[in-house]
Amino acid sequence: MPFVVAIDGPAASGKGTIARAIAAHFGFHHLDTGLLYRATGVKGGDPVTAARGLMPDDLSRPDLRSAEAGQAASRIAAIADVRAALVDFQHRFAARNPGAVLDGRDIGTVICPQAQVKLYVVASDEVRAVRRARELNCDPADMLVQLQERDRRDSERAAAPMRPADDAVVIDTSDMSIDDAVATAIAAVDKARR
């Protein structure tokens, strides 16, 4: 059975950076599940049809990291039929040998509740806003409003709300270097692999 690491948390908390580092360290496959929703959102048209027709090439569009794509992802992620259409894709990915790291907002609670390791990565709203604003070259104050709106929508939605799994290890990256955050996450995976 493949080893699965589920990483959840809000935008700009560092979960993607940690997920990529864990995958590289252990030789696991990595899936940023947010790209599935971003790609579906930017395709336009009926979101359920777009989700069902999603192709791997759709995940490499250059506009998927924009703030607009993030907002579109959050809006369509609240649609239960969209989520259902993307679940099979994620389950197949998680079954890849020798293991997989999936990061998103409902991996440990909905997609892979039996994952051997569940991490929930957080950071303060202000730290996340500065990080994302630097990444997108925009105003941190505007980004703070966008992130808080998205967090509210993601945590209050009826279908698979963003929340930590009961057995998740919480990593607060607000005052951590990238190296320290990655080391903390790798230690959690190492412990579970013993």
Total domains in the fold of the chain: 1
159 Rama sector, left if φ>0, alpha if ψ -120 to 50, beta otherwise:
beta
Q: Is 13 annotated as a binding residue?
A: yes
pLDDT in tens, 20-47: 999 999 999 999 998 999 999 999 899 9
- 28: domain CATH number is 3.40.50.300
| Maximal C-alpha separation, the chain | 47
Domain limits for position 42: 3-193
pLDDT greater than 80 at residue 1: no
Average pLDDT over the chain reads: 93
Percent of the chain with pLDDT over 90: 78
Q: Is 45 annotated as a binding residue?
A: no
Q: Is 70 annotated as a binding residue?
A: no
Q: Is 118 annotated as a binding residue?
A: no
The predicted model scores a pTM of 0.89
Q: Is 16 annotated as a binding residue?
A: yes
Q: Is 98 annotated as a binding residue?
A: no
Q: Is 77 annotated as a binding residue?
A: no
Non-local CB neighbours of 169 within 8 Å, separated by 6+ positions: 117, 118, 119, 120, 188
pLDDT in tens, 76-106: 988 989 988 999 889 989 999 999 999 999 9
98: preceding bond cis by omega (within 30 degrees): yes
Q: Is 74 annotated as a binding residue?
A: no
CB 10 within 8 A of CB 147: yes
